[in-house]
A and B are shown apart, each in its own frame.
Chain A
């Protein structure tokens, strides 16, 4: 019991460094009468090493938040600091560099390229920076998700849970500051979901910052902190 307490303390100490700071971020799509406000003055801080679940019904602005957090899109107003860098006004090429070096994505649809083997899929992000030993790094990432024996399989030869683990390995291979998972279990059965969530939890326990976006209450417990959204606003926070 005491050992566990001590471990938790250590994590909190690590977590004290701020990784993400959103300051009254607003995102508006379209213009004039047709404009839709997807995020309204949204503020959120996430420390390094934390795990956060973002929950909310569809249309609550979860996806928009994910796009902004993942540097796939920029806010209409407000500021976004990622690891101390203001990324809210970067251009596309600079955003691509941040995504490549600091963020690993896990999507609901897995998004594996069907013609490539597992390790070739995992290798993909490394192609966009000059890295040697891509194969070694990819194999290492696959080992972390327990798929060392599936490296040459194509996505079609893998189960849904295995495919999502390949996708997690792809997110891991660049050793990113943040893993951003968008409905990671949305396409999986219960057993596979448990598998994938266990992998994510394990990664967090190793000190990796994880943000999971979901509408599924069963997924939220993977994170130690849950954020609820409605109509583009933060409505309450629950620490697990």
Chain B
């Protein structure tokens, strides 16, 4: 039998059992769609985490207040604001810290900003001129906080581009933060949205102003951001910062340090490991559903062989060779899975299109998982189609004819 006739025969038989064919196809369809969608979501969140962390700079170190120790009992991390402005000036000493490029203390809180045309709630950070460097940001309009502003507790504020447009204010306008008037001296250049939160929705004021007028706790610093002079000096910058802080905090045993220094690369690799694990987990679940779909195909094909035993017997009597029947059943299984695979890709792509718009979850579809899912689906169909096809090919014509 020519291949064209075999395909024609296989397709006719699939069309003859429409409902069954559709149900079998659904199994594969959902498997493939699930693989594509979950890998897409995993990929997107991994990309977003990576992009967000790298946008902070790979030469960034973050020092957070560590645990307090009182009477031998460790408090939790961040249980005390152990960092002070004294630490900041210590770290800024070029002599003892030659590998540290910039230092920015941060004290942060949420506050409602009110302008003449509206109000908007956002994160307000108190910091210094070093904030711009450590966060790898640039000013789009106006200027950033300078040392003089910090020294004089100037009531000045720099806004993210989103915040600025939401409040309808620009450089030179006034905004009220907790009823205190601030002059907008600059608007940051947009950094773009990166999945989790918006880098352009924020406000920065001089740290001294923040401490005294907004969040209280004079001298307290939640964390200190450090930029190493280059990604390659991050190791020595780390050691220098560690040394200086141990000294200023009068700690002799490094294991009792009341601060923690984390590098961005550490955070990055941890975050990547986490998202990767999640992606693998999701993809495995999806792969299992694909496998289940494949077993469904085998199931249906076996039912089909059993149900069509007398047809197979007849075809054999009329001259179908074992090869003819084997090919017919493999083609039937292959067609079902290929069809399911293609529809699955369409569904997966549709999910990739709809989900980000409906649920604000980013989905990144790359060709590799799509191709892999389709290839796996077809392979699953062929592999699981082979056994029923062999059964069909091996049926003895006489017994097959007798089955009614």
Interface residues of A (CB under 8 A from B): 63, 67, 70, 72-73, 92-93, 96-97, 99-101, 105, 107, 109, 111, 113, 115, 124-125, 127-130, 170, 174
A96 to chain B, nearest CB (A): 4
Verify A92–B322 contact, CB threshold 8 A.
yes
* A132 and B323 alpha carbons, distance in the complex (Å): 22
**Can you list, as one digit per residue, whether each of B172-187 has a CB less than 8 Å from chain A (1) or not (0)?**
0000000000000000
* A115 and B317 alpha carbons, distance in the complex (Å): 19
Verify A105–B318 contact, CB threshold 8 A.
yes
If the complex has contacts A93-B323, A111-B310, A127-B5, are A100 and B398 also in contact, measured as CB distance less than 8 A? no
Verify B401–A100 contact, CB threshold 8 A.
no
Which A residues are in CB contact (< 8 Å) with B318?
99-100, 105, 124-125, 128, 170
Point out which of B5, B16, B315, B319 has the most chain A C-beta atoms below 10 A from its C-beta: B319
Verify B319–A97 contact, CB threshold 8 A.
yes
Tell yes or no: B92 within 8 A of A by CB.
no
If the complex has contacts A107-B401, A109-B404, are A130 and B2 also in contact, measured as CB distance less than 8 A? yes
B399 to chain A, nearest CB (A): 10
Selected from A63, A67, A128, A174, the residue in CB contact (under 8 A) with B1 is A128
B139 to chain A, nearest CB (A): 75
If the complex has contacts A124-B315, A127-B1, A130-B2, are A92 and B321 also in contact, measured as CB distance less than 8 A? yes
Verify A96–B2 contact, CB threshold 8 A.
no
Tell yes or no: B240 within 8 A of A by CB.
no
A120 to chain B, nearest CB (A): 9
Subset of 15 A-B contacts with CB under 8 Å: A67-B398, A92-B322, A93-B321, A97-B321, A99-B318, A100-B320, A109-B404, A111-B313, A111-B317, A113-B314, A125-B318, A125-B319, A128-B319, A129-B319, A170-B318
Tell me the nearest residue of chain B to A127, going by C-beta: B5
Which A residues are in CB contact (< 8 Å) with B322?
92-93, 96
Among residues 345 to 404 in chain B, which have CB atoms less than 8 Å away from a CB atom of chain A?
396-398, 401, 404
Tell yes or no: B143 within 8 A of A by CB.
no
Selected from A101, A109, A113, A130, the residue in CB contact (under 8 A) with B319 is A101
Additional A-B contact list (14), CB under 8 Å, known A70-B317, A111-B401? A63-B398, A67-B398, A72-B397, A73-B397, A93-B321, A96-B319, A99-B317, A105-B318, A109-B404, A111-B310, A124-B315, A127-B5, A128-B321, A128-B324
**Can you list, as one digit per residue, whether each of B270-312 has a CB less than 8 Å from chain A (1) or not (0)?**
0000000000000000000000000000000000000000110
B307 to chain A, nearest CB (A): 12
Tell me the nearest residue of chain B to A128, going by C-beta: B319
If the complex has contacts A111-B314, A127-B5, A128-B1, are A96 and B398 also in contact, measured as CB distance less than 8 A? no
* A239 and B352 alpha carbons, distance in the complex (Å): 80
* A233 and B323 alpha carbons, distance in the complex (Å): 35
Interface size on B, residues (CB 8 A): 25
Selected from A96, A101, A109, the residue in CB contact (under 8 A) with B320 is A96
* A125 and B397 alpha carbons, distance in the complex (Å): 15
If the complex has contacts A128-B319, A130-B2, are A115 and B16 also in contact, measured as CB distance less than 8 A? yes
Which B residues are in CB contact (< 8 Å) with A93?
321-323
* A111 and B2 alpha carbons, distance in the complex (Å): 23
Verify B320–A72 contact, CB threshold 8 A.
no
Which A residues are in CB contact (< 8 Å) with B223?
none
Tell me the nearest residue of chain A to B1, going by C-beta: A128
If the complex has contacts A127-B5, A128-B1, A128-B324, are A72 and B319 also in contact, measured as CB distance less than 8 A? no
* A130 and B2 alpha carbons, distance in the complex (Å): 7
Verify B321–A72 contact, CB threshold 8 A.
no
Selected from B9, B310, B316, B401, the residue in CB contact (under 8 A) with A96 is B316
Verify A73–B398 contact, CB threshold 8 A.
yes
Tell me the nearest residue of chain B to A115, going by C-beta: B16
* A101 and B320 alpha carbons, distance in the complex (Å): 11
Which B residues are in CB contact (< 8 Å) with A70?
317
* A130 and B1 alpha carbons, distance in the complex (Å): 7
* A101 and B318 alpha carbons, distance in the complex (Å): 9
Which B residues are in CB contact (< 8 Å) with A99?
316-319
B402 to chain A, nearest CB (A): 9
* A96 and B313 alpha carbons, distance in the complex (Å): 11
* A109 and B2 alpha carbons, distance in the complex (Å): 29
* A109 and B16 alpha carbons, distance in the complex (Å): 21
Which B residues are in CB contact (< 8 Å) with A124?
314-315, 318
Tell me the nearest residue of chain A to B6, going by C-beta: A127
Verify B398–A72 contact, CB threshold 8 A.
yes
Tell me the nearest residue of chain A to B17, going by C-beta: A115
* A32 and B324 alpha carbons, distance in the complex (Å): 34
